[in-house]
Structure 1
Amino acid sequence: MQLRFLGIIPNTPDTDSPTIWLDEDSGDLLIQSYKATEEEVKACQETGSIPGHSTDVPDHETVIRLPKVMLNYVPRPDSEQ
């Protein structure tokens, strides 16, 4: 796996650092961020996604909260990488 560092939330202390990387091989993003609270997960489940799709979060997945400022580091299809 070849990762490229994309960005870290500005002005965070050493122990509170949402970060984002790009997997150069697959194009996937790896994101370190805040865990969603139980209330936020419940709100996601209540909102749902597509009809018939489970709203349960499997053990191998999680819901994270990505601070808005981190969107600056998400690659766009029309941008150079």
Structure 2
Amino acid sequence: MSLQFIGIDRQTGDDESPTVWIDQEKGELVFQGWKLSPQLEAECAALELTGNAVGIPDTEAVVRIPARMVDVIRKACDALECADHVR
């Protein structure tokens, strides 16, 4: 996998770094974010969504990304969209 760094939340301290990358080969966004509290993770896991099983599979994770990173996420989406046109 070759990740392309897109951006980092510059407003967090040295010990925290919500980050966005893209994986152009797979056409995926990759996020590093804050872990959820056990209560919030349980709330997410309990949601019943049409077409999805209740729970969070062992191969998946739910993370928090600050809303102030919307511009970085848009940049990642644009980069993937441009890469998709090149393929």
- Aligned CA RMSD, in angstroms, stands at 2.2
Equivalent-residue separation in structure 2 for 1:60 and 1:5 (angstroms):
23
- AA at the equivalent of 1:23: D
- Residue of structure 2 equivalent to 1:72: 71
Equivalent-residue separation in structure 1 for 2:82 and 2:16 (angstroms):
29
Equivalent-residue separation in structure 1 for 2:13 and 2:49 (angstroms):
35
Q: CA deviation at 1:4?
A: 1.3
Uncovered stretches (5+) of structure 2, i.e. residues with no partner? none
Q: How many residues align?
A: 79
- AA at the equivalent of 1:10: R
Percent sequence identity over matched residues?
A: 30
- Residue of structure 1 equivalent to 2:28: 28
CA offsets 1:44-78 (integer angstroms, 9 cap, x no match): 23332215x3221122211111111122112259x
Structure with greater helix share of residues: 2
Equivalent-residue separation in structure 1 for 2:58 and 2:45 (angstroms):
15
Equivalent-residue separation in structure 2 for 1:64 and 1:17 (angstroms):
12
TM-score, normalised relative to structure 1: 0.77
CA offsets 1:7-56 (integer angstroms, 9 cap, x no match): 111222221010010111112011110011111122223332215x3221
TM-score, normalised relative to structure 2: 0.73
Equivalent-residue separation in structure 2 for 1:24 and 1:32 (angstroms):
17
- Residue of structure 1 equivalent to 2:19: 19
